[in-house]
Structure 1
Amino acid sequence: MGKARKRSVEFSAHGAAMLRQVFPLLGTLAGAGAERDKSGNRQLMFSQYAALILVGLFNPALESARAIVAASGLKKIRKATGGQKVSDGAFSEASSVFDPQLLDGIVKNLRARWHQQRILANPQLGSVSDRVLERLIAVDASVLSALPQIAGRIAAKNKGQWRFHALVHVLDGLPVAAKLTEEPGAKGRAERDVLADIVATDQIDIPKSDDGHLFLMDRGYRSADLFNKLQAAGHDYICRLNRTDGKLIKPPKNGTTVELPQLPRLSEEAKAMGVVADELITLGGNCGASKIGSDHFVRRITLVPPSDRASSARQGRVRTDQTGRDELVLATTLLDLTAEEVVRLYEYRWEVELFFRFLKQVLGCKKLLSAKTSGVEIQLYCALIASLLLALATGGDITRRKFEMVCLYFAGWADEEELLEAVSKQPP
């Protein structure tokens, strides 16, 4: 793994002011979704609804929709959210009245500001060049579940579960594209289909470089059809394979005109790392349930760490899992980089796992407040807004302890001086 990122921005009074913008930011939504209210009776506006969800995100004690509704009548919360106490019925109905996409503009604005801040801070990831760093996008999806009491009232067709697909820019540590799909996915292909659709419709919120994006993917995305689409769109990828995926391309026979690209020689550093094979392959129809084979050169790198080499007692015994306990098989279109460079780049796929851990364990989105897809989308948009504001305020260096101090600050238990001291503290 490369060196830890440099801290980009020290937390300051400006950071605290940035956190205080969380509720005023939503003021632009005040009249949104009230078009059908011709008589002017609607009291719960979109801005207040989204603000109440943010109150729940910044207050771990509010673990359910009923808890948020009960707290909505408190004086400080009414002042922050710009509305009166709401009822359970109004809060539940709001998820189907308001359009989640109206929050997208706020997310894009904050994301652009955060991306610019990261560029100005000149972050570093080990020996990764700036040109490659800008291209890295880690891709994955995670299942989110409704609270048990809500799930019990949902029809069995989706069982109160959704899959949140996120494309995390490694430079920023936050998503540059995201999509929500209902579970179960169609024939288990949701992840690959969603990524292909995002790329085809150009939904990624960062400029595409001349070399395209470089997607880092786990085995759930292994598909010759998807690889072909990414390559045709001008992108590169590094994706984990099963050990049986791919067929070795044999050198051309005399008289043929096929010219195979030359891969860099396997260095001593790569061998010490555990790289045991670096070869060109073609992917057939059995890769990732795709009936289409690869239409471009695919490089396969196989790495078996020395600590996981077969001992004399285990030789000849077939492993029961797909690739071996620590065996790593990667497919990539990067033909010019050395094997060790490709392996190190793939390690940054962990950024998307860190984002999901932050989303679920820190922001509390492990359980969902709504039984409706639109309500889940609004909650996730609010979570992205909270994540971006925290990143802008702290320079991206946010831990669970620091987030707890932010929550205490919003609750009035910690003042700005104590917040600055806690959030500026460097890890031991």
Structure 2
Amino acid sequence: MYQGRTVFSQVLDFLPRKSFRTCVKRYNGNYRIRSFSCYEQFLCMAFAQLTYRESLRDTVLCLRAMHNKLHNVGIQCKVSKSTLADANEKRDWRIYCDFAQVLIGQARKLYADDDFGLQLDETVYALDASTIDLCRSVFPWARFRSTKSGIKVHTLLDLRGNIPSFVSITDAKVHDVNILDELLPEPGSIYVMDRAYLDFERLHRLHRGMAFFILRTKVNTKLRRLYSAPVDKASGVICDQTVRPVVYKSAIAYPEKLRRIKYFDTETGKRLTFVTNHFELEARTVADLYKYRWQVELFFKWIKQHLRIKKFFWVSETAVKTQIWIAISVYVLVAIMKKRLALNQSLYTILQVLSITLFEKTLISCALTESNYNNKFTSGHIQLNLFSS
């Protein structure tokens, strides 16, 4: 029988510790700290994410129950609730933000050749935001409405592997379209968005950055048809037109030509209108790409269900952002482990197995491959399986 390292210790082998130390040093995270370093804080919060803990007290009680095994993992000191709470409140959340970006960079390289359903050479991103409602009296700093607080997680999801390539955490009061000001256009990439991001000035900035965009138009969007291209109406495409904005301010903000595609979805019975600056794609492909935008919706649904980002362990802004960034790091870490170990199980299955085997002394590959795990997914007529394999 295997008597070596715990599963938790083996999971941590996939962490780039040198990069973590660089992030800590960048923000002086361990300055004048004698015990309970930033790395130990990260391990405790990662343990909470992997084992579905609901509070700091819950996390500390479980860690103390395993105190004989914590030394081998990397937690050298006795963990207390006050120590962990102080660390989450006072230490710079940007440490974990930068480290998450390091993990994201590694994951995107691993999933760069994955197929997401369409044979395209371009990198395709889905951009959207999700709001997490908070109590106004407990989280007064998170401005949203007069009766409640909230934060908004803006995510740019790489559809190859469903890896978040860009994440920004703001007050829920910040409108979705403002996040386009923070994006650096990647030349040749395609950004798929919903109608909330229809702003001609910002879209022209993407166009000048040699990037492509696809999004739905609003009801009151006025575009003037210049000419039409032939279409195959049997594919559901109603028309494929070259257009310009009609409203004076819109025409000034976006002086170039646009492409408007009207499509009838037989599954939902809806008539959809898309606008894009990509004139080379087939009209049906544009409609299919917008359908794959649903992946980012499933991503938000998945992380809210399987990561601890709806119940926060502390109330300060720093603590909340620290918890969210560590949750994202855990998500990407598991995705990296899945790819490097060539596991066929879904991320959901991997997380479930890890939640009950973290401190077992067994080979991680055996724990995740010896048994037969059967997953049953149900999807609606417009939903796609985010983690079906």
**Which residue of 2 is the match for residue 265 of structure 1?**
230
Say whether 1:56 aligns with 2:48: yes
Partner of 2:281: 337
Q: Is 1:142 aligned with 2:130?
A: yes
| Structure 2 contact 226–244 (Cα < 8 Å) conserved | no
Equivalent residue, structure 2, for 1:348: 292
SS of the aligned residue for 2:139 comes to coil
**1:271-420 aligned within 5 A:** 271-283=233-245, 293-306=253-266, 326-395=270-339, 398-412=346-360, 416=364, 417-420=366-369
Describe the shift of the 1:178–1:24 C-alpha distance in structure 2 as closer, same or farther (beyond 3 A).
closer
Q: Which residue does 1:66 correspond to in 2?
A: 57
Taking the aligned partners of 1:362 and 1:193, their CA distance within structure 2 comes to 28
What is the TM-score when the length of structure 2 is the normalising length? 0.79
SS in 2 for 1:327: strand
**Shift of residue 405, structure 1, vs aligned partner:** 1.0
Q: Kindly state the Cα deviation for residue 226 of structure 1 after the two structures are TM-superposed.
A: 1.7
What TM-score do the two structures reach when normalised by structure 1? 0.73
Distance in 1 (alpha carbons) for counterparts of 2:373 and 2:282? 39
**In the aligned structure 2, how far is the partner of 1:30 from the partner of 1:379?**
16
**SS of match in other structure, 2:332:** helix
| Pair 1:114 & 2:107 matched | yes
Matched, 1:224 2:172: no
AA matched with 2:29: G
Alpha-carbon separation, structure 1, partners of 2:195 and 2:107: 30
- Flag the 1:76–1:248 CA change in 2: closer, same or farther, 3 A: farther
In structure 1, the gaps of 5 or more residues are 1-14, 203-207, 252-262, 310-325
Whether the 8 Å contact between 2:8 and 2:358 is mirrored in structure 1 is no
Deviation, 1:230, is 0.9
Q: 2:16 and 2:282 mapped to 1: Cα distance?
A: 50
Aligned length: 357
Q: Aligned partners of 1:233 and 1:171: how far apart in 2? A: 22
Structure 1 residues 17 and 246: alpha-carbon distance in aligned structure 2, compared to 1, 3 A threshold: farther
Change beyond 3 A, Cα 1:409–1:394: same
Quick one: distance in 2 between partners of 1:164 and 1:273?
36
Residue of 23, 29, 34 corresponding to 1:33: 29
The correspondence for 2:166, drawn from 177, 187, 191, is 177
Tell me which of 157, 168, 173 is aligned to 1:168.
157
SS in 2 for 1:85: coil
Give me the CA root mean square deviation.
3.4
Alpha-carbon distance between aligned partners in 2 of 1:113 and 1:379, rounded to the nearest angstrom:
21
SS at match of 2:322: helix
Distance 1:423 1:20 in 2: 25
**Structure 1 residues 321-378: Cα deviation after superposition (integer angstroms, max 9, x where no partner):** xxxxx33221101112221011112222122123212211122323333322222222
What is the CA deviation profile of residues 211-255 of structure 1, one whole-angstrom value per residue up to 9, with x for unaligned ones? 43210101111111221111122111001122331222346xxxx
What corresponds to 1:258 in structure 2? Answer: none
For the Cα contact (< 8 Å) 2:89–2:314, is it kept in 1? no
The one-letter code matched in structure 1 to 2:55 is: S
Give the match for residue 95 of structure 1: 88
Q: Does 241-250 or 337-346 show the bigger shift?
A: 241-250
> Which structure 2 segments of 5+ residues have no match?
1-6, 378-389
Q: Which amino acid is 1:193 matched to?
A: N
Separation of aligned partners in 2, 1:67 and 1:237 = 45
- The answer as to whether partners of 1:54 and 1:386 remain within 8 angstroms in 2 is yes
Contact 2:244 2:251 in 1 (8 A): no
Q: How far apart are the structure 1 equivalents of 2:251 and 2:58?
A: 50
- Cα deviation for residue 137 of structure 1 reads 0.9
Q: Which amino acid aligns with 1:196?
A: D
Which has the higher Rg, Structure 1 or Structure 2?
1
TM-superposition CA deviations, 1:292-339 (whole Å, max 9, x none): 642221111122224666xxxxxxxxxxxxxxxx33221101112221
Contact 1:246–1:281, Cα closer than 8 Å, also in 2: no
Q: Displacement, 1:165?
A: 0.8
* Larger mean Cα displacement after TM superposition, 106-115 or 216-225: 106-115
